[in-house]
Amino acid sequence: MLINKYNIIRNLAILFIACNMLYWLFPIPPLFWRVGLVLLSLFVIVFKERDYLSCEKAILFFTLFNLIHFFVSFLWQRPSTTQIGNILCAMLSLSLFVCLSEKGVMNDKAFFIIGIVLLVGAIMNYYHSERIALEGLISDNDTDITNNSSVVFLMLLPMLFLMKNNFQKWASLLVCIFFLISSAKRGNIIAAIIPSILFVHYTFKDSRRSVLKTIMALGVIVVVSYLTYYWTVSNDFLMYRIEQTTEGNSSGRNVIYAGAWHTWFNSNNFFHYLFGYGFDGTVHQSSTLYHYAHNDWLEILVDYGLLGIPFYLMIFLLLIRPIKRVQTYEMKMVLLSSVFIWLFKSAYSMGFTEEAFSIMMISMGTALGKYKAEMLEG
């Protein structure tokens, strides 16, 4: 009966994540799926029987810190409810999947199905977003045709280590690479490099005892490498954006970064130095062109001041211990690839405010749950 209960919770969690990604297919407002995931996560957190890992506590505390700041900020501005919703969905879901992993329901069979469901959902979401972008391109005469929904494929990469079916994980890798390149999102492509290298390393390590498996793995890697190169050089828009990057064009990020830094540093106000300008503070500043900072650390500095930086930094420092001590090698690879993606996203885009992080938290939470199980057994 206990296993059945957690099977139901797992299935509901995946359903909420998938339906939120494909919200346009349903007559129900997308808020329903987001609230459902948050409430499910809170249910597990409140009634959880075991202790939390230190990194779990840090993430929960940082989430609470954001929530308090959100409500306090109503005293002087109108913070975004969408942004706080993204944070709650992404951060709270980690503890949800840690618990499900501890209960043994995040198994090989589950990841076979979850991998297929989320990959198909990501493809559907990509083409829907592309259609919307093309409509905007025609009506607004816009020239930016990158597809932001490709971030889902980046978030799926750590899950490759948890797939036991060789065809599924290699096919999933190819699909993820194809859509990441097609989207022409430079940051997401760069962030995918290290997880992909870790996956290749893991594949060779797993097959080194068999000459046939090693030869087959090498052949697949050659094919994947060739296709990656072919898709890259065939994408004229991506090559153009790479050329822009080498010439120092970062889509206006240099202006936004400088504006965010000067907003905080030149505030000449002790309150702003220490506590920032409030939740969503960057979008209320002319110096940032009324944009988000596209950098977690600058975003936290402007929104929460110096007080917020240690809370966020502590998450990454406390994740070092599980990475070093987890005994199952694929779980180590999951944590390494997840943390790298998170760190890279935090530097060039949005990390903790990225709703798609809830997808990566499935893999990350599973690995941390296995680590907790190892600690209890040891």
Per-residue pLDDT tens over the stretch 130-163: 888 777 666 555 555 667 889 999 999 999 999 9
Number of domains within the chain: 1
Query: If we measure between CA atoms, which residue out of 31, 17, 6, 65 comes closest to residue 275?
Result: 65
Which has the minimum average pLDDT: 1-10, 24-33, 80-89, 333-342? 1-10
Cβ-contact 181, 235 below 8 angstroms = yes
Question: Which pLDDT band holds residue 177 (cuts at 50, 70, 90)?
Answer: very high
Tokens of 323: 């990475």
The pLDDT assigned to 130 comes to: 83
State how far the Cα of 228 lies from the Cα of 148, in Å rounded to an integer. Answer: 20
Q: Which whole number is the average pLDDT over 313-318?
A: 96
User: Cα separations (Å) of 5 from 11, 44, 100, 105, 244?
Assistant: 10, 11, 10, 10, 52
The pLDDT assigned to 4 comes to: 78
The pLDDT assigned to 209 comes to: 58
The pLDDT assigned to 139 comes to: 57
Its pTM surpasses 0.85: yes
| 278 within domain boundaries | no
Q: Is pLDDT at 257 greater than 50 in this prediction?
A: yes
Q: Is the dihedral of CA 187, 130, 12, 159 positive or negative?
A: negative
Question: Which pLDDT band holds residue 378 (cuts at 50, 70, 90)?
Answer: low
| 294 within domain boundaries | no
State how far the Cα of 83 lies from the Cα of 352, in Å rounded to an integer. Answer: 10
Higher pLDDT, 239 or 291: 291
Which has the minimum average pLDDT: 15-19, 188-192, 236-240, 243-247? 243-247
Tokens of 218: 């090498």
Q: Which whole number is the average pLDDT over 275-296?
A: 86
| 110 within domain boundaries | yes
Residue numbers of the domain that contains 210: 2-249+306-377
| 279 within domain boundaries | no
| 258 within domain boundaries | no
| 280 within domain boundaries | no
Q: Is the dihedral of CA 219, 221, 226, 227 positive or negative?
A: positive
| 31 within domain boundaries | yes
| 268 within domain boundaries | no
State how far the Cα of 75 lies from the Cα of 144, in Å rounded to an integer. Answer: 37
Q: Is pLDDT at 1 greater than 50 in this prediction?
A: no
Q: Which whole number is the average pLDDT over 55-83?
A: 93
Question: Which pLDDT band holds residue 249 (cuts at 50, 70, 90)?
Answer: low
The pLDDT assigned to 298 comes to: 93
